[in-house]
Structure 1
């Protein structure tokens, strides 16, 4: 039986040697065997800097190099929630592909139109894109989707843990369904994630029709230290004061579910079990109440505008059972209800109510506010 390294394309092997790697990591070797010996979907779970990216890309890039498609289109589609992550991954892939002519194309709002025009004129290689930009491609170039993705053999979903049962997650699953409908064939799905507490939930998300067919590779041992990045959105003369306050809260927030660090009367960091049904419901309720909410691994960032209410007052209202329209500022959540390709069966299976818990919203909010 050949080793995982032996299965990789020669240019990839050469670059690995040039980088001084002594061997592939365990999850990289295991993923190489799974991805190159079959066509099943896969979830790779490991801590930050655990080698997840290479575990997916080394074998998939090798397949593209050794077995090039005769069809037009990007060979591999990579979807990530953050522009900065896409930019960073693009640099890493350019280095891995240094000994090849495979184009690496990052695509988001900060990428120039000339780069995008060149990529759409002759689509090939790897496309790295945000869910929002992929949505825009469907809207603006809907008739070109078969040409742009005709050769696509796999889609890689990064930060899978951050989208489970979230607004973005529902949007992303809808996009994958629409892509497969447009191409009239399934596309292999590879999810990259931090270690997940409920792997079965992740499998259902990745391939709702056949979660039992999804392979999983979980890194063994080597648990990483939890790191927190706390960002402040400030304006005017109070910059230093708010930043000092944010730094002081950094040490107080221990990331036990239900903790809140208030940065101002309209901004806070809330420690939650990200990806849970109740957290998703809370995020939608806060958006409907006039706040901007960003979901991260283990916490929510909540920021209000000038016209937004006091955050604690808004949370108190939710704790007291105030009803809000969870769909008020989430148009993407309504998309599935009106998309012509979705059947009644799909709508029932992916019914939005199954991903929300309005009844538990008050209880969650009370725990955040420290009420009994």
Structure 2
């Protein structure tokens, strides 16, 4: 099928022969068919698509852009460029990458002389339609490859892409080829790509090797805990990560949130040559980490989903997943990064230490081995994406009939059910906001249209970002979200696994490197939701373990679990300790049984239904309880618990049994009114519709009034629709409430069970020890002694800077007065009101050096210090323990930890 020229180019890139999958794909592509190629990671899907396309291009010798290669991640773009460049250039084709990181000079060059192959993202594809030269170049497109299509299909980015493909079909006739890892519903993914798309599943069977490990604490860990200022259990996890990485060539360490990546990086950098990689770091920082890792300069890379997709980093021979990966698809994708070649074993080790994390990891490993991947939740009829695309098409054509726009959009799979009436309603709403001109028959752009389009080109919910610049090098290291800066009251934070002191905040945040404790920034929309199917299996496994422990005893159960889940004894014992204690007095909450427990005004529904069901159900129950009580009932959820306060178990049961399944959708929407979740979604939808500008100052708005004002508009409808897709599983809640008390059993208790009380690990746990040892208290005290403070005499105004540890008696060196205020040198005296300085000086005069220590503890102000100092402490140890607890409380309750 392939010419000698193409075969030689493949050899030049290190490909000696095609696999069976690649041969089958080549045959069908050369026949002109549209394809979805589904195969495990590392099985050569890229080459399966590209090889026959290059053969056709060699025969056709096209002008302009013949192949558009679309990927969801910028890092993946860079990787594709590296991989394809060798083959393409050998055949005489120009290849270029274009995305948000591409320089202006490179963009201009591409516009003047378009490449034959363009590697891009869904967002950047939108822009290509608007440039005169590039739009003309798109008329030559004969092939479109969409890589990692499963990653796009379940998001609004995917909807935007599906419409863009239909717009491209207006300009050119092309073959579509989608590349995907294993998915649960191949037909739906194929339909998403376009019409008449055939599915090929195959590739050599990918071998995966998983294990789930809870590190056992050894003597070395206690010493390490002191050095790193963490719990011995956390030290054991860090030691195990180091040991695994050192036994292999190189490792990817996956975490679920950027906060955890930064916290882990901060500690692990003291043990291992490692860097942090995530989407909020700058392009330069990400590329530098990728290159250092590819060269072998780093032993490991700590990453989030930023390195999850098909980036060819072939020397990785182990993946470490820190805590449960939450989803089967994530585990397969992430572990597949190791042994990223056909025939090689992909090795993955999940390090899990808590009850939920271990059970969840066991279940996910088992489901992965059985090929049970969770369903993709696909966005359908997204109204803000529809608005975005109407404006984009208006800009592209200048003036166009509304019916024509409707026919283009309706061809896209997510809009196959769009009525003309709904389409016209959105056009009229946009026209009312002067986003477009619409006279009932034609659509045209206005002055505002272009600005609106560029402001909203990304369908990822946006908030204001601030660039972070290192003043010592002038380099941009990343971005901070508006929400972090608005709540950050310190001056030191972590980014790129390093600590930085804020020098100034303006349009950019200027920082300098520093070596001391700091805060971890927050980034919105982070936590990966645990699916219903996984949570149900966790419930089933809880019950199975409880029955095994009752009937077979500990040793037999350990043996069975170690064999079944390739786990270690310590992980089994962590789970057993909770379940053995639990079954003494409580039923086990499982896939078919919930328990409702209460104590001290707190009620917990133990329900193994996953994040989306528990969030919808929890908010409905909290709303109904609030209505009954006449006062607000707070709700917190995780995949296995709904916590309500104040509440009693019996009243929670009554409320649950009173819910009519037919009313669930209305109740779920009603429960959203006045929530931050709905307000945030309405703000984002309002921006996407052009109702609010991107730079609108939210602090000056009454957000509740904004929501109420937009109640009967497409903006509000879109906000609710998004929540129902991403956060609430309304259909399953309907099903569950109809089965409560019959197929789903309920037990009620007047106390909280061991399963209710087990916590999940957070990034915070990596930063501060939960059970301080003598050694950790000594480290804490040494840190306080090293702090600089300012001593300010309120009698003569003399001000000096001194280390806390060098202060014996607090007295003014100029006038001898004891009326001296002590504040941490991170703040200046000018920041304090006179009354507060007098209050601090009185505390120092009354309590001496103890007051100096209190005022130099993070998060302890004059009021908090007065409370701490007024207590009686049997020993000095107890005093420092209280200061450490105060600092931990401060960090825990900071808004960005929410």
Normalised by the shorter chain, which TM-score bucket? 0.5 to 0.7
1:160 aligns with 2:149: yes
Residues 228/145 of structure 1: CA separation in 2 closer, same or farther (3 Å cut): same
Shift in Å, 1:316: 5.3
Give, in angstroms, the shift of residue 214 of structure 1: 1.3
Larger mean CA deviation between 78-87 and 114-123 belongs to 114-123
- Picking from 66, 84, 91, the partner of 2:59 is 66
Q: Which deviations, in whole Å up to 9, do the C-alpha atoms of 1:315-336 show, x marking residues without a partner?
A: 858841432375642579869x
Count of aligned residue pairs for this structure pair: 305
Query: Residues 85 and 146 from structure 1, CA distance in 2 versus in 1: closer, same or farther, beyond 3 angstroms?
Result: same
Deviation at 1:28? 0.8
In the alignment, the residues of structure 1 paired with residue 203 and residue 91 of structure 2 have an alpha-carbon distance, to the nearest angstrom, of 32
Give the Cα separation in 1 of the matches to 2:156 and 2:111. 28
Q: Distance in 2 between matches of 1:297 and 1:187?
A: 37
Match of 1:302 in 2: none
Aligned to 2:684: 329
Alpha-carbon shift at residue 114 of structure 1 (Å): 2.2
Question: Following the alignment from structure 1 to structure 2, what is the Cα–Cα distance between the partners of residues 256 and 274?
Answer: 10
Specify the structure having the higher radius of gyration (Cα): 2
Q: Which residue of 1 aligns with 2:36?
A: 43
Which residue of the partner structure matches residue 17 of structure 1?
A: 11
Q: Which residue of 1 aligns with 2:160?
A: 171
Work out the CA distance in 2 between the residues paired with 1:206 and 1:145. Answer: 23
Alignment of 1:276 onto 2:377? yes
Q: Which runs of 5+ in 2 are unaligned?
A: 211-251, 270-301, 304-319, 330-350, 352-363, 365-372, 386-459, 464-482, 484-522, 532-610, 621-670, 673-677, 691-719, 737-754, 757-898
Q: Which residue of 2 aligns with 1:94?
A: 85
1:198 to 141, 166, 185: 185
**Does structure 1 retain, via aligned residues, the 8 Å contact 2:12–2:87?**
no
Separation in 1, partners of 2:23, 2:5 = 17
- 1:360 aligned to 708, 713, 729, which one? 729
Aligned to 2:125: 134
What's the secondary structure of 1:155's corresponding residue? strand
Aligned CA distance change for structure 1 residues 28 and 146 (closer, same or farther; 3 Å)? same
3-state secondary structure, aligned to 1:320: helix
How far is 1:252 from its partner?
Answer: 4.0
Of stretches 149-158 and 320-329 in structure 1, the one that deviates more from structure 2 is 320-329
Please list every run of 5 or more consecutive structure 1 residues that lacks an aligned counterpart in the other structure.
Answer: 1-6, 262-270, 300-311, 336-351
Change (3 A) 1:20 1:238: closer
User: What whole-Å deviation, never above 9, does each CA across 1:294-323 have from its counterpart, x for those lacking one?
Assistant: 699999xxxxxxxxxxxx9xx858841432
Q: TM-score, normalised by structure 2?
A: 0.30
Deviations 1:238-260 (A, max 9, x none): 6767879x999823446369xxx
CA contact (8 A) 1:45 1:192 kept: yes
Matches of 1:150 and 1:332, distance apart in 2: 32
Following superposition, the deviation at residue 179 of structure 1 comes to: 1.8
- Report deviation, 1:112: 2.2
2:22 aligns with one of 8, 28, 31 = 28
Once the 2 structures are TM-superposed, how far is the Cα of residue 165 of structure 1 from its aligned partner? 3.1
SS of the aligned residue for 1:105 comes to strand
2: CA distance, partners of 1:332 / 1:68: 44
Q: Which moved more, 1:317-326 or 1:7-16?
A: 317-326
- Contact 1:166-1:275 at 8 Å conserved across structures: no
Pair 57,221 (structure 1): closer, same or farther in 2 beyond 3 Å = closer
What displacement does 1:62 show? 1.4
- Counterpart for residue 230 of structure 1: 255
RMSD value, Cα: 4.6
The structure 2 residue matched to 1:217, chosen from 186, 200, 219, is 200
For the pair 1:56 / 2:49, whether they are aligned, the reply is: yes
Q: Is the 8 A contact 2:178 2:193 kept in 1?
A: yes
Whole-Å separation in 2 of the counterparts to 1:190 and 1:298: 31
Q: Distance in 2 between matches of 1:200 and 1:103?
A: 34
Aligned to 2:230: none
Find 1:255's aligned residue among 300, 311, 327: 327
> Which residue pairs with 1:116 in the alignment?
107
CA contact (8 A) 1:47 1:223 kept: yes
Cα pair 1:76 1:154 within 8 Å, conserved: yes
Are the equivalent residues in 2 in contact too, given 1:159–1:192 (CA < 8 A)?
Answer: yes
Secondary structure (helix, strand or coil) at the match of 1:329 reads helix
Offset at 1:222?
Answer: 1.2
Tell me which moved more, 144-153 or 17-26: 17-26
- Quote the Cα distance in structure 2 between the aligned partners of 1:332 and 1:160: 27
* Cα deviation, residue 122, structure 1: 1.6
Q: Distance in 2 between matches of 1:135 and 1:295?
A: 29
Match of 1:107 in 2: 98
CA distance in 1, matches of 2:530, 2:57: 36
The aligned residue for residue 826 of structure 2 is: none
Q: CA deviation at 1:233?
A: 3.0
